[in-house]
Structure 1
């Protein structure tokens, strides 16, 4: 049995399949959040993260490492810091989807791979290559195409606040991705505990900012469970598996399809109205992400994509 499992984990198509599964599940987030609209966003975040923690617990169980017993302070710091990033990313994005149109907010949110590339290339090279800067400007121009009408109309409420929160969520996901690159932290193995801590943090924030509320309807609870078990449970484990693949730098390019797929799902579901700005902005974000992920000509050994 162990031998068969080992062979299964090393099948050549498994990394790409895991990444594709994660991309599809992440693209469903804006639609699922809008379907659970009766639930306040922070409370929805807490319940979804709790469902993700419970769902990933049996899949991510590992043996304890006795040699790590003396590093409790460092362990606690890792758990709290990464859980804060997850709580900030999920809470901010869910709130953004309630304050701004879901399609526009999701395109801003899913520009996070560009932020990740900017940070990882800066850390790896001590500078930002021209291709990375050009790609970032291209992707951000796509987000600006959506934000500009709100910015020109003035005010910091409503959709404009949602856009800002989507940008905050993108920054949190970029920092979380950087944390995933630290081998000693082994975030995939810690995922159930990280999601559980993030659930507690967002739950506390919900009680403080949203107050108490009655028990959600059965339909809303089912949507919340799907949101937690899928995008914030199975998808995160699948992405962790994809990033440990030998071709992770190629497999990671699939993440650039998330904003286009999310927008397409919202339009097909009737949540977002067809608008010429949406496909143009989506193409700019994807083109910018792909451009930013290109290897610098003066540093050909640097990997592109999400696995830097």
Structure 2
């Protein structure tokens, strides 16, 4: 199964601008998630995905999926919605169980995982620079977790950190599939988000059956999450991957941890600590090293 490259010639500036839009919107996601903290996490996930589907609805059009193999069709219609559900719900739940800035930073290690997947799928091996970059990036996350580990364990936060890492893996695999799939995901995104929303609604009914509806602030924050970070940003990211160079596009996403941490500190959600900017810088440096 080899991707069919688009015959359309697009300026490299287009992919860079699209990636920057996605990066900016993703940077505000942790802050919006904190504002929606009062909502049940799966209920918030369903609301976010529904808003994202509505935001991307004008882009929907028919795609010749019959030209793809059965494996790719299953990957698109089932695999991608499951990855979206896993990424968004794990992220929201992880930020409830662990400090917001730390959980967000762990999630934003996904670009280095995406670079490693891209290299392995293209060449069947990993470059030493990429492995070193991954170690540097995850050492940044380790700086944040080390004090808790030395003071007697993580407590309930360990599950939150694990879910944040799961969200990172889901986003990395989603990005890899978005680059490898033989068709553009943008026209399919509204339907994929609706499928993901249906899956999340079913899960919410099972595990959060009695959860009250979100209040006004949480409701607005959830809608904003869907319209921006999980709506427009996902379309922009798909366009950037489709028409841009993977290493260049991936490197632009490395600024998300610093911007997200800065916004959380400025908003008063997270207290300023020297470990936070140091860890964010290490994540960015590690991702840049891996991208090269």
TM-score (norm 2): 0.90
Indicate the larger mover: 122-131 or 152-161: 152-161
The residue number in structure 2 matching 1:118 is 116
CA distance in 2, matches of 1:69, 1:123: 22
Q: Highest CA radius of gyration, 1 or 2? A: 1
Is 2:271 the partner of 1:253? no
Alignment CA distance shift 1:12-1:271 (3 Å): same
CA distance in 1, matches of 2:249, 2:168: 20
Aligned residues: 284
Alignment CA distance shift 1:246-1:274 (3 Å): closer
CA distance in 2, matches of 1:247, 1:177: 13
The residue number in structure 2 matching 1:48 is 48
Is 2:160 the partner of 1:136? no
Q: Alignment partner of 1:128: what SS?
A: coil
Structure 1 residue 157 displacement after superposition: 4.0
Alignment CA distance shift 1:11-1:78 (3 Å): closer
CA distance in 1, matches of 2:166, 2:152: 20
The residue number in structure 1 matching 2:163 is 165
Unaligned segments of structure 1, at least 5 residues: 1-8, 295-308
Q: Alignment partner of 1:44: what SS?
A: helix
The residue number in structure 2 matching 1:14 is 14
Q: Alignment partner of 2:268: what SS?
A: coil
CA distance in 2, matches of 1:69, 1:131: 38
Structure 1 residue 89 displacement after superposition: 0.4
Indicate the larger mover: 240-249 or 284-293: 240-249
CA distance in 1, matches of 2:249, 2:78: 29
Alignment CA distance shift 1:246-1:217 (3 Å): closer
Alignment CA distance shift 1:288-1:42 (3 Å): same
* Equivalent residues of 1:15, 1:248 under 8 A apart: no
TM-score (norm 1): 0.86
CA distance in 1, matches of 2:71, 2:266: 49
Structure 1 residue 23 displacement after superposition: 0.4
Indicate the larger mover: 197-206 or 83-92: 197-206
Indicate the larger mover: 263-272 or 209-218: 209-218
* Equivalent residues of 1:112, 1:171 under 8 A apart: yes
* Equivalent residues of 1:150, 1:159 under 8 A apart: no
CA distance in 2, matches of 1:28, 1:104: 15
Is 2:142 the partner of 1:177? no
The residue number in structure 1 matching 2:30 is 30
Q: Alignment partner of 1:181: what SS?
A: helix
Unaligned segments of structure 2, at least 5 residues: 1-8
The residue number in structure 1 matching 2:206 is 208
Structure 1 residue 77 displacement after superposition: 4.7
CA distance in 2, matches of 1:62, 1:210: 34
Alignment CA distance shift 1:210-1:63 (3 Å): closer
CA distance in 2, matches of 1:85, 1:93: 12
Alignment CA distance shift 1:88-1:37 (3 Å): same
CA distance in 2, matches of 1:107, 1:95: 15
